[in-house]
Amino acid sequence: MSVTEQPAPAPGQDPGADAAADQLRDRISADSLTTRRDYLRIIATVSGGLAIGGVGVAAGILHRHGDSETLPEAKKVTDRLAPGQSIAFRFPGDEDRALAVRLADGGLVGYSAVCTHLACGVLWREDRGPDGELYCPCHEGVFNVRTGEVAAGPPPRPLPRIFLTELADGSVWATATARSGEPLKDALCREFGDSHPAASRQLGCPGAARTTESRRT
Ligand code: FES
């Protein structure tokens, strides 16, 4: 199966995922990461995110992953990620630990690698069940690798998602983030905001039409 034929993972998929994939593809093109837009066939997996850790976040000391009101600059994660592989990377900032996982069925997911309990590093354990699991060794925290939801242990919230986009050449890019538990559409509407009105309209973001009207008058 070619990359372009791969279905996006169903679990957690938002109805606006297709539109979101188009917008994220355009985002990469706009950033001049490639000039051949027609060549880009995106498999967008709406996943992951990143947070900075339970204590610091709870205390308001540290920023939470996904808090930005604008899209971060797209970042290449890897040239290729084969089924059964994972890769650690930093996104959106150089201090923001993140993890991308290619599941056995081809699904591609990305999350913050910062545990929502006390900010220890989260790992992928491939040998735990059919999909493996995201595991925090500090206090035996476990997250569902397809959704980021807490499966066991003390973490209070799901892992924030990172939006991953795969190009036809197999390269994987991180393009946007979401807060813990935040739906795809809400995250993209927040980050597209007023700076990308066409994208906001396509996604059906609240206030997008109103913004457009006000700009006409
Ligand atoms: Fe991850 Fe406690 S820091 S379970």
* Residue 48, in any domain of the structure: yes
* Amino acid (one-letter) located at 146: R
In this predicted structure, what is the pLDDT of residue 19? 65
pLDDT of amino acid 37: 38
Residue owning the nearest CA to atom 2 of ligand 1 = 139
Q: Enter the tokens of residue 70.
A: 């604008």
**CA 208 to ligand 1 center in whole angstroms:** 39
Residue 189: per-residue pLDDT = 87
Contact present, 122 and 113 (Cβ < 8 Å): yes
User: How many angstroms separate the Cα of 37 from the Cα of each of 30, 31, 40, 90, 201?
Assistant: 9, 11, 5, 26, 21
Which pLDDT value is given to residue 18? 66
Please report the atom of ligand 1 found closest to the CA of residue 153: 4
- Environment class of residue 130 by beta-carbon count within 10 Å: exposed (0-12), middle (13-18) or buried (19+)? exposed
**What residues are in contact with ligand 1 under a 6 Å CB criterion?**
115, 117-118, 120, 136, 138-139, 141, 153-155
| Residue 3: inside a domain | no
Distance 30 CA to ligand 1 centre (A): 38
85 falls within a domain: yes
> Chain centroid to CA 161: how far?
4
Q: Is residue 163 part of a domain?
A: yes
Residue 120 domain-assigned (yes or no): yes
The domain tally of the chain equals 1
Range of the domain at 127: 25-216
Q: Is residue 15 part of a domain?
A: no
Domain annotation covers residue 20? no
Residue among 199, 109, 110, 117 at smallest CA distance from 155 = 117
* Dist. CA 123 → ligand 1 center (Å): 11
pLDDT tens digits, the chain, 217 residues: what are they?
333 333 344 444 455 556 666 666 665 555 434 333 332 333 333 333 333 333 333 333 344 555 666 778 899 999 999 999 999 999 999 999 999 999 999 999 999 999 999 999 999 999 998 899 999 999 999 999 999 999 999 999 999 999 999 999 999 999 989 999 998 888 888 887 777 788 888 888 887 765 555 554 4
Q: Which atom from ligand 1 is nearest to the alpha carbon of 116?
A: 1
Q: Is the peptide bond before 156 cis (omega within 30 degrees of 0)?
A: no
Q: Which two tokens stand for residue 155?
A: 């973490």
Q: What is the DSSP letter of 114?
A: B
115 Cα nearest atom in ligand 1: 1
If DSSP codes are grouped into helix, strand and coil, which group holds residue 50?
coil
Which residues share a beta bridge with 150? 143
Q: If you measure from the C-alpha of residue 140 to the centroid of ligand 1, how many angstroms do you get, rounded to a whole number?
A: 7
pTM: 0.71
Residue 12 lies in a domain: no
Q: What is the CATH number of the domain that holds 70?
A: 2.102.10.10
Say how many C-beta atoms besides its own lie within 10 A of residue 149's C-beta: 17
CA of 210 to the centre of ligand 1 (A): 43
Give the residue, by CA position, lying nearest to ligand 1 atom 3.
118
